[in-house]
């Protein structure tokens, strides 16, 4: 699936991922907690997202219920892959260094990163021996 959600579409997807299938009104009520937006804007965006295949719609009831078609993890992976290819010349290490250099990581986050790196190094040692 070749998705290219806009920033506004990602905000809507985030609401759908967090809350599950929702009406336009329910999504809109969540969005306006973070920024000013009109109901008709939310409605139009969700209709466009339906046409793009980002969401599916159950129209058996008067209020249509929308649901994300693609998972949050898959979307993150696609967006990060695109980011690495376009802004970091294919280098994931440049992305990581940029992120760590500009945002303060918590102790827990750093511990998780160290654990992940240790696991990756362990896999590399095993595969080089085979």
Same domain, 57 and 106: no
Last residue of a domain, one of 34, 53, 68: 68
Residue 22 scores a pLDDT above 70 = yes
Tokens 């896999």: give the residue.
123
Confidence of residue 49 (pLDDT cuts 50, 70, 90): very high
Taking the C-alpha atoms of residue 31 and residue 6, their distance in angstroms, rounded to an integer, is 15
Per residue in 80-124, pLDDT tens?
998 999 999 999 888 888 888 888 889 999 899 899 889 988 876
Instruction: Write the CA distances from 63 to 28, 58, 60, integer angstroms.
Output: 13, 9, 8
Q: Give Dmax (Cα) for the chain.
A: 62
Give the residue, 58 or 104, on which the prediction is more confident: 58
Q: Are 62 and 22 members of one domain?
A: yes
- Alpha-carbon distance of 37 to 28, in angstroms, equals 8
């Amino acid at each position: 699936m070749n998705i290219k959600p806009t920033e506004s579409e990602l905000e809507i997807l985030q609401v759908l991922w967090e809350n599950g299938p929702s009406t336009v009104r329910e999504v809109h009520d969540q969005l306006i907690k973070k920024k000013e937006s009109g109901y008709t804007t939310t409605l139009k965006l969700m209709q466009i997202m339906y046409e793009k295949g980002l969401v599916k719609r159950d129209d058996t009831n008067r209020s249509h219920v929308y649901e994300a078609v693609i998972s949050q993890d898959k979307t993150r992976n696609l967006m990060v892959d695109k980011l690495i290819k376009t802004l970091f010349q294919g280098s994931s290490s440049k992305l990581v260094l940029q992120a760590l250099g500009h945002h303060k990581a918590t102790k827990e986050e750093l511990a998780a990163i160290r654990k992940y790196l240790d696991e990756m190094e362990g896999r590399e040692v095993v595969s080089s021996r085979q």
